[in-house]
Structure 1
Amino acid sequence: MKLVTVLSLIFSNALMFCLAAVGVSSKSVIEVRLSESITTLDKELYKEFVHINASSTIQFNIVNDVNVSFIVFQVHSHVYNVTLYNNTNIEGSSVSGKNVGLYSSVRPKLDTFFLLNPNIIDLKLFVSVQGYGNKDPIPGGCNMEFPTPISPFMRTTFLKDYIFVDAAAPRYYTDMHCQNIDNVVVDFYIMYLPEHNFDSETYFDGIQKMMTLEKIIENGDRIPKTAFPMRRMLSAYPGTGAIYVAVAKDVQNPNYYSIYVPNHHYACMPFDDGDDSCEIIQDVISKLICASLIFLGLFTCYIGHRFFKTEMFLFGVLSGVVVSYILISIMSDLDRPALLLAATSSGVLVGILWLIFWWYYGLPIIAVSLPALNLGFLIASIVYSKLPGDVVMLQVDYNFWTLFVLIMTLTCVFLVSMAFVTNVLCCAVLGAYAVVYALDFYVGSNLKYIIINIVRRATVPKFGMAVLMVPFEWKDALMIALWVGLAISGFLWQHFHNRGRPPFPPPPRGGCINLPYYGTLSSRLRDEVESAPSDSVQTQRISYNENTPLLADSTNTNERKYISEFLS
């Protein structure tokens, strides 16, 4: 008997040792008392921060003291996944993730919820309970794809250039078989967090600001509808956190509503070791190009017109890089450094060809048309970034690119009639944006996405269905002020600095007559002749016509010499 007792003790101790070694979780109990009053815009009955130990479980016992029909119990974690289940951890009754929630009806009684921390570190979590009446729609009540029968939570799927936000269809309170899902409408909302701020306190503060309808309307922006009623596709802005939430409303009476469990994403993986997806500038070539843009942008903004041939080369390079980047991205699958190197090489070649064109022909109107087209490209990109995402017609690529090219062309046609002013304006605005574009990568603002989203539209399949909604924070306002300041000062400086000079230099190879240039030349010659001594100017009237060479029949030796020296 003693031997059996000793063996039992040894076996029990060994079993406890093995269980401890594999990390069997400990369990604590928290009583959740639902005693808060419900208002029209605030149906949050309970909220609290809890700390859960590594590899442990917390049991939540719900004590209901309010008149509700059902509740949504939700838990939010910043970095690590947790598991939430009710009564028994079996398939169909549990969900894992960072932003999880479960539904429970008060009849016959509220569920008991269990929260499991499978990680090897302690976690700080935010727990909230929302209570709803018997006429409020049930969030996720008509679920067909999510793991639990009723799924009040949302999911975000991150790809390189866009994010999918999905929610299960809600159920009307009398529609037990989901026959009339049109009785409930679902609106999606988004709230951006401060750019490149990955702090947990900022995250939890953002979650709490999107928990009630009043706060959602105050802090969030409604995401326009797309072709899929329960999905939103948004352009990704790596490093800028966003809180997503959906609100299901009764079509007949919007006072009956329910809120899905808010979800969150940074559009990158900031906490994964070795993952640099939050850094847009990742390679040496990108860093060199970005640094060069600052100096080339300042050069073009303030003295671009003065060095006209250099300006022609730079605008040729700019156009060539953009077009080559898009074409190469469509036709091949190169990594980013190789793609940038190929696009830059092609851009330099285009710049050389454009400079050769000016060298041989020297048509100012044609030369200015390229900067004007680049300015039109920027204006069309700004218009695209401000378009609402629910314009179905513009989701069709043919319609969109027709409108885009039309805006570019109209801008160019309107500006080329004022060749000198247009060239100075293009130098100032585009040069200033080049500076802001480069600084934008270092500051962490989002003005760079004016161009990036257009490139995505041209190269990423189905990107036309994405809602842009570019974040706008104080950094973006600061960069816009810098852009405007540089553009205005650059335009005024170049306009003042070129006062009294010929609007355009003569083409190196002669080329076609530059009418504004020669008009200024004729005016200056007339002033010189009128102010010259009378004995140096012949009063003989000479008859000229279209067949008379410029210097032919000029019997005034001094005038011929002056003109020859001036033209040389």
Structure 2
Amino acid sequence: MCVRELQMPSLGLSLTAVDAGVLTALQPGQASLLLFLSSPGGDTVAGTGVILPFSSTDPVPGACNMEFNLDIDPNVYIHYNLYETTIRFAPANLGYERGETPPVCDESIEPSTRWRLQYDVYQYFLPENDLSERSLFSGIQAVADIRGMKENGKRVMTLLSSDVSMAVFNSIPGQGVVYSVIVRDPRLNTSASYVPVHTYACSFASTLDGCQTLGKISTKVFFTITGLAGLVVCFFGHRFFKCVRLALSAVIGVVGGVLLVMSWWRFGSVMACIVVVGLMLGFLIASTVLFTPLGDINVFRQSDVVFWVTFCCIVIIVPLFFVRWPREGNIATCGVVGAYAVILAVNAYIYTSLSFITLNILKRLLNNNFSAMFTDVPFQTTDYIMISVWVVLGVCGIVLQLYRERSRPFFPPSPYLMWLQERERRKTNVLDPSHHFPPLPNRLLARVRQLTRRMEPAGEHTPLLL
């Protein structure tokens, strides 16, 4: 009887990680291979395994590894934070026959070496609002090989061998994403897949950035109130113009809000408010335009100047139309922005990618390196439903307000101007009973004088005339 002692594999032959894979070169005549899988803590875990064969003409993923633990490392390593998700992988090498010496990795950069290889980075979104293991395993199995990833995933970029083997994406907490890299040999027209890796941009074991704590009660309460306010603004925003100005005060600050209110109260001018309202709609329109695949064009990703100039131009153009049609512009803003607030409220309960329309702009503003990221987000059934809700609410709100306000003044009159007109009317209209009463300031002054006047002593001071 032969007893084989189990030993821990040495460095370069073992790996402890999630979504880990091992690539082994078979020797001539070898028909079997033993691989050992264990849980570091001894706990029972669920997993799925996929075996992928490679031929001698296929590239060898991770064969030119100079950074990670395995000698041949076909894994994709992932790191995420609140802003970005970064994937890194080791360069591949050309294929070779069994028993032969692998080609040298960095001896030269001739087309006959591994420098002719190209790397396609793919992205696959798991179903929204689904954090189950079943969904994850089904997704991994669907894109584990080259054919599955090409059919179900989306190629987001192609890297050359001279590029840094790294890609940066926008973090989407709570949304499952599978990343994979397919290395291609354009001369032999062959390819091989790295081991797919997944992330939810949150932790299932931590409470700080836990996936289960994304929907906090305070967040839901805040966005619920925001959604209700947005619903009122969508259908009644123009009629309650004073309330809209109050909301603008909250947006632009106390000083700006006071200036807006005073310009309307004293001079009856609503143009300052209309300009701010137009900028709000312009901000949402510009964010929506750059939320589309247009925002991932290289000129916008590589230059912050081009991005922000384009963004500001779109924002500024919108208020120019409001100068000519102020009432229609204010109603349109109430409908569109109010309906979007409702979408944000729904996002607090059911994930939707539409929340990233404005969130991506804020991320780029706060993070200097955000421009280098790909901002793709999943568009699935929930998102199309939310787009329909947004459009229906916005159109209904605009049409209803235009119909209701068609025979009313464009905007509420200035309180100060109304007071001046009322005072002038009292002066000129002698039939008005209020004409015979002095104004309130005069009455108050007379009352004060009466209270402070010295009382005359009682008695007769002049002789009676007989």
Band of TM-score, shorter chain: 0.7 to 0.9
What amino acid does structure 2 have at the position aligned with 1:232? A
Please list the CA deviations of residues 147-172 of structure 1 after superposition, one character each: whole Å capped at 9, or x if unmatched: 11211011110112211111111113
Aligned to 2:35: 113
| Aligned mates of 2:157, 2:265 — CA distance in 1 | 50
What amino acid does structure 1 have at the position aligned with 2:43? I
Please list the CA deviations of residues 305-337 of structure 1 after superposition, one character each: whole Å capped at 9, or x if unmatched: 01112112213423x3xxxxxxxxxxxxxxxxx
Please tell me whether residue 493 in structure 1 is matched to residue 400 in structure 2: yes
SS at match of 2:368: coil
| Aligned mates of 2:286, 2:39 — CA distance in 1 | 50
SS at match of 2:49: strand
Change (3 A) 1:465 1:274: closer
SS at match of 1:131: coil
Aligned to 2:199: 265
SS at match of 1:130: coil
Is the Cα contact below 8 Å between 2:84 and 2:171 reproduced in 1?
Answer: yes
Is the Cα contact below 8 Å between 2:300 and 2:371 reproduced in 1?
Answer: no
Change (3 A) 1:401 1:304: same
SS at match of 1:247: strand
> How far off its partner does 1:419 sit?
1.2
What amino acid does structure 2 have at the position aligned with 1:360? R
SS at match of 2:15: strand
Higher relative contact order (CA 8 A, sep 6+): 2
> How far off its partner does 1:94 sit?
0.8
Is the Cα contact below 8 Å between 1:224 and 1:389 reproduced in 2?
Answer: no
Aligned to 2:64: 142
Please list the CA deviations of residues 255-302 of structure 1 after superposition, one character each: whole Å capped at 9, or x if unmatched: 300000010111101244675355445473x44431221121011111
Please tell me whether residue 159 in structure 1 is matched to residue 81 in structure 2: yes
> How far off its partner does 1:371 sit?
1.1
> How far off its partner does 1:208 sit?
0.6
> How far off its partner does 1:198 sit?
1.7
> How far off its partner does 1:470 sit?
1.4
Aligned to 2:93: 171
Which one of the candidate residues 89, 95, 104 is aligned to 2:24? 104
Please list the CA deviations of residues 114-138 of structure 1 after superposition, one character each: whole Å capped at 9, or x if unmatched: 2222233222321111112211111
Please list the CA deviations of residues 48-103 of structure 1 after superposition, one character each: whole Å capped at 9, or x if unmatched: xxxxxxxxx9xxxxxxxxxxxxxxxxxxxxxxxxxxxxx96001111111211111
| Aligned mates of 2:182, 2:226 — CA distance in 1 | 44
Please tell me whether residue 419 in structure 1 is matched to residue 326 in structure 2: yes
Matching of residues 449-528 of structure 1 within 5 Å? 449-510=356-417
RMSD: 3.0
Which one of the candidate residues 128, 132, 155 is aligned to 1:199? 132
> How far off its partner does 1:349 sit?
5.3
Change (3 A) 1:226 1:282: farther
Aligned to 2:458: none
Aligned to 2:282: 376
Change (3 A) 1:259 1:374: same
| Aligned mates of 1:120, 1:139 — CA distance in 2 | 30
Change (3 A) 1:137 1:476: same
Is the Cα contact below 8 Å between 2:56 and 2:95 reproduced in 1?
Answer: yes
Is the Cα contact below 8 Å between 2:55 and 2:95 reproduced in 1?
Answer: no
Change (3 A) 1:401 1:274: closer
SS at match of 2:74: coil
Is the Cα contact below 8 Å between 2:263 and 2:272 reproduced in 1?
Answer: no
Aligned to 2:449: none
Is the Cα contact below 8 Å between 1:445 and 1:476 reproduced in 2?
Answer: yes
Is the Cα contact below 8 Å between 1:305 and 1:427 reproduced in 2?
Answer: yes
Is the Cα contact below 8 Å between 1:240 and 1:266 reproduced in 2?
Answer: yes
> How far off its partner does 1:463 sit?
0.9
Is the Cα contact below 8 Å between 1:249 and 1:256 reproduced in 2?
Answer: yes
Please tell me whether residue 437 in structure 1 is matched to residue 365 in structure 2: no
Change (3 A) 1:225 1:403: farther
Change (3 A) 1:360 1:270: farther
Is the Cα contact below 8 Å between 1:226 and 1:465 reproduced in 2?
Answer: no
Give the fraction of aligned pairs with identical amino acids, expressed as a percent. 29
SS at match of 1:103: coil
Aligned to 1:367: 273
| Aligned mates of 1:454, 1:351 — CA distance in 2 | 24
| Aligned mates of 1:459, 1:225 — CA distance in 2 | 28
What amino acid does structure 2 have at the position aligned with 1:176? V
What amino acid does structure 2 have at the position aligned with 1:115? L
| Aligned mates of 1:236, 1:222 — CA distance in 2 | 17
> How far off its partner does 1:226 sit?
8.0
What amino acid does structure 2 have at the position aligned with 1:488? V
Please list the CA deviations of residues 472-521 of structure 1 after superposition, one character each: whole Å capped at 9, or x if unmatched: 1211112111111110110011001101111122223339xxxxxxxxxx
Change (3 A) 1:278 1:167: farther
> How far off its partner does 1:393 sit?
4.7
Could you state the TM-score of these two structures normalised by the residue count of structure 2? Answer: 0.80
Aligned to 2:170: 235
Is the Cα contact below 8 Å between 2:203 and 2:209 reproduced in 1?
Answer: yes
Aligned to 1:11: none
Paired residues in the alignment total 407
Is the Cα contact below 8 Å between 1:440 and 1:479 reproduced in 2?
Answer: no
| Aligned mates of 2:351, 2:401 — CA distance in 1 | 30
| Aligned mates of 1:239, 1:416 — CA distance in 2 | 43
Q: Which has the higher strand share?
A: 1
- Higher deviation after alignment, 294-303 or 272-281: 272-281
Is the Cα contact below 8 Å between 1:223 and 1:232 reproduced in 2?
Answer: no
Matching of residues 13-32 of structure 1 within 5 Å? none
Please tell me whether residue 409 in structure 1 is matched to residue 316 in structure 2: yes
Which one of the candidate residues 278, 287, 296 is aligned to 2:229? 296
Is the Cα contact below 8 Å between 1:126 and 1:204 reproduced in 2?
Answer: yes
The answer for unaligned runs of 5 or more in structure 2 is 97-102, 419-423, 433-466
What amino acid does structure 2 have at the position aligned with 1:104? T
| Aligned mates of 2:241, 2:354 — CA distance in 1 | 28
Change (3 A) 1:422 1:352: same
| Aligned mates of 2:212, 2:362 — CA distance in 1 | 19
The answer for unaligned runs of 5 or more in structure 1 is 1-26, 28-56, 58-86, 321-346, 512-549, 562-568
Aligned to 2:179: 244
Change (3 A) 1:392 1:148: farther
Could you state the TM-score of these two structures normalised by the residue count of structure 1? Answer: 0.66
